[in-house]
Structure 1
């Protein structure tokens, strides 16, 4: 091990730090709970499974001040059918998880820094960032490594997924996009830590890689999410930069750089070579999770996302140690409209389409890459009556607080809000479309896990998009699930369960 840092000793309890306390105390639950209690009525039409994954360390960390999202991936499955809901939860059996369970102590060091580990790992993944369904299996993703494939019914880990040895790169995004029967993805630092290489690819339902394109980024920095249109792929770079020499000295993988622009890579989606990528620029900013992108009637790209001029990952400051106070960080919903064929690589100034602090946006996935007129996301609106006096002592730290769900209707530019209660904060929403012969965008239900700080337990709220101000149903869990990252809905008709 290199560098200087404080490591935990075997057998210790979790550190007395905010990211391991209150609602953020590790859950460490595996098992099933049948027939969850329901307040209200779950619509009979809803038939499928909501999968989500949370970082949930099984053991006290090797590094005392470990960030909250460096825990082991623990997948939750909410199976909803006939107005009933069953719950199942299981850890992904990564190499890290299995070896630490055998050793009865943590072995992995700092976030994405192999030089601080107690032992050498082949794959350091925690599989804790996203879980999605493709080709009959769940893919548990973390962007520093290939995904793990997981059985969608039992949640048993199948293998580290290299797609039959065809995966061309060492990393795999936590936010692949599904477009019909095609999975579109990429890896950054694709040839290893500190490399500028980005590998873009698409995979069909036979597991065949239908295209692979290698490009070189202008900086070695984080590309957490991306967007696709019918003809283009967009890579927004977060100005958290990597330096291999810093890592070898025991430093952090990421360091905020306020002196570089916000880069947006634009690549033709099909039949491209790496030389065709264009790196558009805008003033230094932190791009959040993408909402969606599409091409308008003029052939310009329209790209929506939350954006802030502050470093959201404030625990990784700049080279001088500067970082914003968490209370100062707020992302506005913005829109970039630009010509992908332009030789002027300066992005036009963005349009602000939502002034309130928002993140974790979703669209009706049937319209991904196409013109969208609805978006759903987490919001923080202090005027709604949140009881911060009750929440704050019990909240725990690290994760951003949002007290409501937002539904943006682009027709009217109106944001409708769902406020779950004064002692509640929300996690990422997902959208479930209403069934029927007509495909009406945004008509259905929004489902989100909600933290109740009065009961210190979790709730699953179902909200009808036709009546967004109140819940259709609230499903009570008798346990507490700490903050998760991402998840997805899989309709029962899509869910081809293995026998």
Structure 2
């Protein structure tokens, strides 16, 4: 079967499969472009850099039917200042990337399965899931290993980040949370593949580890994201279980909105969730007493019934009561030209045709529809300048795929007028589906 095909010699062409075709054909571009073309006007007070990462294989994969999210981490940086936008992109020089470039062929095997590799790796990371700024460095993260450090200006790889020998575990989440100046983190399978151990730790603004707590999960399963409140940390365990013996035989290996404590001390936890083996998810809210002895969660409340994912908030309110959320959603009623998109789309990645803005006070969702031949990637919020700026007052930035031109666009939307774009920035290169990114104020 295609999923078990393993090449015995170098293959220059990518497999003729959906995840390597159309818009999902690997980009493999490194370089920079100054003064990108802009339609509309970028607000002068928007001053900073939008970083994002995409899985982007530099070479045809060792396993022919490789999932799209197993590609090498390629970091994009959009520097915005004085109404102009400059673009830079560079691969993370992971151990995998360097060894494969030297060998001129793929060496890493199946996703999260070291037993299928062509050579032994000390660290299997592709550094392709998230990129964030902390303590003067960019951290390119993938949850099965420590992050890689990058120079935020040049995007040059500094090296594997061990936090001066303080990192207590073998893994590091792709979704750390900033709580003021402190970074809250965890690693699952923290003592190695197939281990049930979870390590939670905090890092202050100077890079010093301030707290480390070891836990044992009830099962060995994926814990992709987590949530924090003033007094609690929540780990949603995804029903994707690691079977170590199956991995040895060559087998295969949700994002949260936010959580907070209400006036009664209950935990309120919002996240997209599905009850089926499908990507389609509804936005749900769980409210529960953390001191209860009842092991069953109470029934969830449906906040949004439309298919949504990649939720973000105004990050200044992480762990606190939030009243705004932004996310990708799929609404077929908006008029998307699926006939044009489908033959050019490629496959394997999630499909969303609009950005949503949920106001929890009115419980209404505003929608930004970028165009009939467009699909959106993850939104990121940029707060308006000023210490007293209200929550959710600012802009949302998101990369958008244009299937009519087969090009990528960066859209900026004002949250005060959410249903139309403030500016559209055209890229001269096509960027395939990415995972996560963050805004870093200048």
Is TM (by shorter chain) over 0.5? yes
Question: Which position in structure 1 is the counterpart of 2:136?
Answer: 136
Residue among 253, 258, 263 paired with 1:297? 263
Question: Which position in structure 1 is the counterpart of 2:30?
Answer: 30
What SS is found at the alignment partner of 2:316? Answer: helix
Question: Which position in structure 2 is the counterpart of 1:6?
Answer: 5
Q: What are the superposed Cα offsets for residues 409-435 of structure 1, whole Å, 9 maximum, x if unpaired?
A: 000000000000000000000000001
Question: Which position in structure 2 is the counterpart of 1:115?
Answer: 115
| 1:455 is aligned to 2:437 | no
State the distance in 2 between where 1:421 and 1:5 align. 39
TM-score (norm 1): 0.87
Question: Which position in structure 2 is the counterpart of 1:256?
Answer: none
| 1:373 is aligned to 2:323 | yes
State the distance in 1 between where 2:281 and 2:114 align. 32
What SS is found at the alignment partner of 2:4? Answer: coil
Q: How many residues align?
A: 439
Question: Which position in structure 1 is the counterpart of 2:273?
Answer: 307
Question: Which position in structure 2 is the counterpart of 1:472?
Answer: 422
State the distance in 2 between where 1:475 and 1:251 align. 42
Question: Which position in structure 2 is the counterpart of 1:209?
Answer: 209
Structure 1, gaps ≥5 residues long: 254-287, 313-328, 493-499
Question: Which position in structure 1 is the counterpart of 2:90?
Answer: 90
What SS is found at the alignment partner of 1:466? Answer: helix
> How far has the Cα of 1:345 moved from its partner?
1.5
Q: What are the superposed Cα offsets for residues 387-427 of structure 1, whole Å, 9 maximum, x if unpaired?
A: 00000000000101000000000000000000000000000
Q: What are the superposed Cα offsets for residues 35-83 of structure 1, whole Å, 9 maximum, x if unpaired?
A: 0000000000100000000000000000000000000000000000000
Question: Which position in structure 1 is the counterpart of 2:332?
Answer: 382
State the distance in 1 between where 2:252 and 2:36 align. 42
State the distance in 1 between where 2:97 and 2:336 align. 37
Question: Which position in structure 2 is the counterpart of 1:401?
Answer: 351
State the distance in 2 between where 1:23 and 1:438 align. 42
> How far has the Cα of 1:486 moved from its partner?
0.1
Do the aligned partners of 2:94 and 2:125 also contact (CA within 8 Å) in 1? yes
Question: Which position in structure 2 is the counterpart of 1:61?
Answer: 61
State the distance in 2 between where 1:181 and 1:466 align. 28
> How far has the Cα of 1:11 moved from its partner?
3.1
> How far has the Cα of 1:12 moved from its partner?
3.1
After TM superposition, which residue ranges in structure 1, 4 or more long, deviate above 2 angstroms?
Answer: none
- 1:157-168 alignment, distance < 5 Å: 157-168=157-168
Q: What are the superposed Cα offsets for residues 189-225 of structure 1, whole Å, 9 maximum, x if unpaired?
A: 0011110000000011222111111101011000000
Do the aligned partners of 2:12 and 2:59 also contact (CA within 8 Å) in 1? no
> How far has the Cα of 1:311 moved from its partner?
2.2
Q: What are the superposed Cα offsets for residues 126-167 of structure 1, whole Å, 9 maximum, x if unpaired?
A: 000000000000000000000000000000000100101110
Question: Which position in structure 2 is the counterpart of 1:250?
Answer: 250
State the distance in 2 between where 1:97 and 1:375 align. 36
Question: Which position in structure 2 is the counterpart of 1:189?
Answer: 189
State the distance in 2 between where 1:466 and 1:163 align. 40
| 1:359 is aligned to 2:359 | no
Question: Which position in structure 1 is the counterpart of 2:152?
Answer: 152
State the distance in 2 between where 1:138 and 1:130 align. 10
| 1:333 is aligned to 2:283 | yes
What SS is found at the alignment partner of 1:69? Answer: helix
State the distance in 2 between where 1:11 and 1:408 align. 47
What SS is found at the alignment partner of 1:398? Answer: coil
